[in-house]
Amino acid sequence: MDLNSLTIESTRTAIAEQRCTASALVEQFYGKIKAEDPGIHAYLTLCEDRASRQAKVIDDLTQKGAPLPPLAGVPVGIKDVMVTKGVRTTAGSKILENFIPPYDCTAVARLEAAGAIVLGKMNCDEFAMGSSNENSAYGPVRNPRDTSCVPGGSSGGSAAAVAAGMAVATLGSDTGGSIRQPASFCGVVGLMPTYGRVSRYGLIAFASSLDHIGPLTKTVRDAAILLRVIAGRDPLDSTSADIPVPDYEAELAKPVSGLRIGVPKEYFGEGLDAEVRAAVEAGIQKLRSAGCEIVDISMPHTAYAIPTYYVIATAEASANLARFDGVRYGHRAKGARTLAEMYRKSRDEGFGTEVKRRIMLGTYALSSGYYDAYYLKAQRVRTLLTRDFAEAFQKVDAIVTPTAPTPAFKLGEKADDPLSMYLADIYTVTADLAGVPGISVPCGNTQSGLPIGLQVLGRHFDESTVLRIGHAVE
């Protein structure tokens, strides 16, 4: 089978019609990964035993002629910030180099219960902090569309594996854009669901009020199929919402004509690459031709999104990362004489530069005397940003923007300039702060052949409309 063109849809049909066994398919994928991944580095860990056990379960079902679950035999990869029972989980960090979790992340458990086969764990920026995957302690990922370029981040391995046909679909996480931005850099589909739509149980926390799990896939239909499997209330995550999960795939059949689509002027200003602008405008034109009404809107607080995000995300990260102290799990420094020295040395040896920078920024923002000036102020601006969305959604059904201001950049190009790296998320962080869903779908290529992504944002829990519009652009 041609692994590069396999979708969830075509894989499950091939398995159901017994054109291929799940075991043979898994073997083919591992063959491709071993041949091609050394040049990309999308995978950090392969779990061949777990995959072949699951493949046998599926093959038994097909042999018996039993009904098949919705993802039967679909090979997937999991960003290495989601814990997997018995399979090393590093979060891209040295501090968790030898960490073997004792339980499964809910989203992973739901994928497997639906018949998916986990091939392995995907490379990512350390603790999901980054926009280029260059912050992984295990080395960067390369963009399969041009290996001199970054794949985006922090779910760079998840996006690259789908683009390179080394997994049919993957899970990523999005705190400030980490599903949508790498999807746009690699030319795949990336969906960030509404905050609370997908359980975060078993997701190693970066910034808990901003973290979302979601799919990276080749098609919008695949994203719809996968979301339905992982979405829904989970008693293990008190922030997961008890709201019915629609049949997203069936929803795709509804026409988009008559939908009102907002185009916010703040997302088309200075810093937007000309080729990206042209491709996104062409995408908007397509929607107009499909009968959507295009409405110019304004989201006046957009300029404050990046600073707000970097105060809140670092504050939450500094608290979440306090648990890595060399005592309970992860790296413990040798040769320390006191407990305090052991904490200090373990964290110094285990964390990379960007993670340390964020812990320091976040600790500062939360410290007494600065809390009101930074953290509290940022929370207030977050409310204003959320109101921008609420007001926009009184006038329109969805919002369309570029996913990122530029196409993929070169490896090393921004590595020494954290601020310009932070600006890669200028169009994505707003949705994380407001908790609304968003998708990035490919909408064209630059002259040099790099993919460009168009972003659709929707109302809380209205992934259906976001997917339908994404599908129309696709």
What torsion do the CA atoms of 259, 260, 265, 268 make, to the nearest 10 degrees? 10
Q: Which of 90, 175, 219, 302 is in the footprint of ligand GLN by CB under 6 A? A: 175
Does the footprint of ligand GLN cover residue 129 (CB under 6 A)? yes
Stretch binding ligand GLN (CB under 6 A), from 36-44, 126-134, 247-255, 402-410: 126-134
Does the footprint of ligand GLN cover residue 406 (CB under 6 A)? no
- Of the two residues 165 and 190, which places its CB atom closer to ligand GLN in the complex? 190
| Burial (CB count <10 Å: 0-12, 13-18, 19+), residue 344 | middle
Does the footprint of ligand GLN cover residue 92 (CB under 6 A)? no
Close Cβ partners of 444 (under 8 Å, ≥ 6 residues apart): 278, 279, 282, 283, 451, 452
- Of the two residues 30 and 309, which places its CB atom closer to ligand GLN in the complex? 309
Stretch binding ligand GLN (CB under 6 A), from 23-31, 176-184, 225-233, 234-242: 176-184
Cis amide bond preceding 154, omega within 30: yes
CA angle 229, 28, 18 (to 5 degrees): 65
Q: Which residues pair with 117 in a beta bridge?
A: 75
Does the footprint of ligand GLN cover residue 177 (CB under 6 A)? yes
Per the listing, tokens 């071993």 go with: 34
Stretch binding ligand GLN (CB under 6 A), from 42-50, 63-71, 136-144, 171-179: 171-179
Q: Which of 73, 92, 115, 130 is in the footprint of ligand GLN by CB under 6 A? A: 130
Does the footprint of ligand GLN cover residue 80 (CB under 6 A)? no
> What is the separation, in whole angstroms, between the first and last Cα of the chain?
24
Adjacency order of strands within the sheet including 75-79: 43-46, 117-122, 75-79, 169-174, 212-217, 189-192, 438-445, 451-458, 398-402, 260-264, 293-297
Does the footprint of ligand GLN cover residue 174 (CB under 6 A)? yes
Active site residue 178: yes
Does the footprint of ligand GLN cover residue 140 (CB under 6 A)? no
**Shortest distance, position 425 Cβ to ligand GLN, whole Å:** 5
Active site residue 158: no
CB 141 within 8 Å of CB 160: yes
Element spanning 277, H or E:
helix 274-289
Stretch binding ligand GLN (CB under 6 A), from 27-35, 128-136, 408-416, 454-462: 128-136
Active site residue 154: yes
Q: How far apart are CA 455 and CA 470, in angstroms?
A: 8
**In the window 352-381, what residues touch ligand GLN (CB under 6 A)?**
none
**In the window 280-319, what residues touch ligand GLN (CB under 6 A)?**
313
Stretch binding ligand GLN (CB under 6 A), from 40-48, 83-91, 129-137, 258-266: 129-137
Q: Tell me, by CB under 6 A, how many residues bind ligand GLN.
A: 13
- Residue 98: phi and psi, rounded to 5, are -115, 25
Q: Which of 155, 158, 178, 440 is catalytic?
A: 178
Does the footprint of ligand GLN cover residue 176 (CB under 6 A)? yes
Q: Which of 131, 154, 158, 464 is catalytic?
A: 154
Give the pairing type, strands 438-445 and 189-192. antiparallel
The two structure tokens encoding residue 139: 């080395």
**Shortest distance, position 83 Cβ to ligand GLN, whole Å:** 17
Residues involved in catalysis: 79, 154, 178
Q: Which residues bind ligand GLN (CB under 6 A)?
A: 128-131, 154, 174-178, 206, 313, 425
